[in-house]
Amino acid sequence: MTTVERAARRTFRSLTNRNFRLYLFGQVVSGTGSWMQMVAQAWLVLRLTDSGVALGLTLALQFAPTLLAGAWGGVVADRVDKRKLLVLTAAVSAALALVLGVVTAAGIVEVWMVYVLAVALGLVTAVDNPARRSFVPEMVPPEDVANAVGLNSSVFTAARVVGPALAALIIATFDVAWCFIINGLSFTAVIVALLAMRPRELRPSVPVPRQKRQLREGFAYAWHNRPVRLALLVVAIIGTLAFNYQVVLPLMAEDAFGGDAGTFGTMMAALGAGSLVGALWTAHFGRASERVMLFAVLGLGVSTLAATLAPNLPLEFAVLPMVGLASMVVISMATAVCNEETAPEFRGRVMALFAIAFLGSTPIGGPFIGWVSESIGPRAGLGIGAVAALATAALVALARHRARSADDERVVAVDAADLELATGYVRQ
């Protein structure tokens, strides 16, 4: 076996699991449709309002339910069969996308309709996201969890490359409404894949009985678990101030570079191409690592700063893949840390907190970055993300240094106690 073959086998080893293969198939189809809708929705709002604040508000409304009710979504995920729950959330998401497509195609869409449907989708996401993230470890052996997380991210990221490019092509050739309709139909792949799985080959966590204070228990567990706490903090800061690409990039395309929907779609595709490389690298790496997460956050800060200062579109296209690569490694490593360091009975609640940190932070960061981008310029909005990432890297480095110092002190204390005990024996 050649080196390349060994590397490929290591990178894609989770695909030997039939249920996981089915899951990835559904995700790549649906993920492509979802990214098409993200691009189309941003462009539709910009066309209706010509406002960066409106772009930020749309994202805020879509992800506010995750912020407000996401923790309860994790409680639900821990209490029920996750596979059946994901079938339900996929069906409802499909219906919402089709409604937006119909009103847009009919020419009666108004921005308030987009807002209402964004909130409805957000309510579904508040339950779907923790269930989906905590379902991955149920399909593969414990030693393959990080690999499966990386491959899952790579599939979603491949969709992130294809989806925006298809959206730009469809918007330019036909109409923005078709992006929403295609996304609605794409959820069929998720439902079929989930129903075709073999339940006996899954490793489901035992559903947690309905009890009081389960939400509080989830918060306490995450707070007292140092690796989980650090990963959630990283995701919260980055998600709030750096991951606002659907707000900043449409304005960069239009205002900074004089482009159109095609420019925006291509920028998102370039970002996604780098993310795909980052996800595949994470899958090959095969294990969670705080150290790798630290360097990825640092790389995100440096590359985002370069994207902020890029003077022309070709240089922007050259830098965006690096932004995407670093951002995906950050998220993949943080996800793997939370999954590997969490007991199965708490996994749904911890991943709900992850969703709150990642998606729920958007209602705060989206409108703020949109306002900054509209008032000062999109480069300022992007620059805030760069500074936030660099500051977060410093915070992670400090936290790791303190943890190592505390561990060293404990080792010294144990050694001293052993020495004293040994000395006592000698004296006797």
CATH code for position 94: 1.20.1250.20
CA distances from residue 392 to 67, 233, 298, 301, 385 in whole angstroms, order as listed? 21, 9, 8, 9, 10
Closest to 121 measured CA to CA, from 160, 94, 103: 94
Note whether residue 276 is domain-resident.
yes
pLDDT of residue 417: 46
Cβ(352)–Cβ(214) below 8 Å? no
The predicted pLDDT at position 427 comes to: 45
- Residues of the domain holding 96: 14-198+214-427
Let me know: does 104 contact 180? Beta carbons within 8 Å.
Answer: yes
Distances (CA, A) of 100 to 29, 261, 302, 404: 19, 19, 38, 52
Specify the DSSP element, H or E, that contains 72.
helix 52-79
Q: Give domain status of residue 375, yes or no.
A: yes
Q: Are 274 and 322 in contact (CB under 8 A)?
A: yes
Instruction: Count structural domains, the chain.
Output: 1
How far is the C-alpha of 8 from the C-alpha of 11, rounded, in Å? 5
In a domain, 2, yes or no: no
> 301: which 2 tokens?
């800060």
Report yes or no on whether pTM surpasses 0.75. no
1 in a structural domain: no
Position 416 in a domain: yes
User: Tens of pLDDT along 107-124?
Assistant: 999 999 999 999 999 899
Contact in structure between 353 and 337 (CB atoms under 8 Å)? no
Q: What is the pLDDT of residue 117?
A: 94
Per-residue DSSP letter, 138: G
> DSSP for 290-322?
HHHHHHHHHHHHHHHHHHHH--SHHHHHHHHHH
Task: Please check whether residue 205 lies inside any domain of the structure.
Answer: no
Is the distance from CB of 396 to CB of 234 less than 8 angstroms? Answer: yes
In a domain, 291, yes or no: yes
DSSP string, 211-236: -TTHHHHHHHHHHH-HHHHHHHHHHH
Residues 6+ apart with CB under 8 A from 179: 36, 37, 39, 40, 101, 166, 167, 170, 171
By the 8 A CB rule, do 149 and 136 touch?
A: yes
CB pairs under 8 A, 24+ apart, for 410-417? none
| 4 part of a folded domain | no
| Crossing angle of the two packed helices 290-309 and 226-241, in degrees rounded to 10 | 10
| Cα–Cα distance measured from residue 344 to residue 349, given in angstroms and rounded to the nearest whole number | 10
CA separation for the pair 316, 195 (Å, rounded): 43
The whole-number pLDDT of residue 95 equals 96
What is the pLDDT, as a whole number, of residue 414?
45
CA-based torsion, 368, 41, 97, 31: positive or negative: negative
| Ranges of residues in the chain whose predicted pLDDT is under 50 | 411-419, 421-423, 425-428
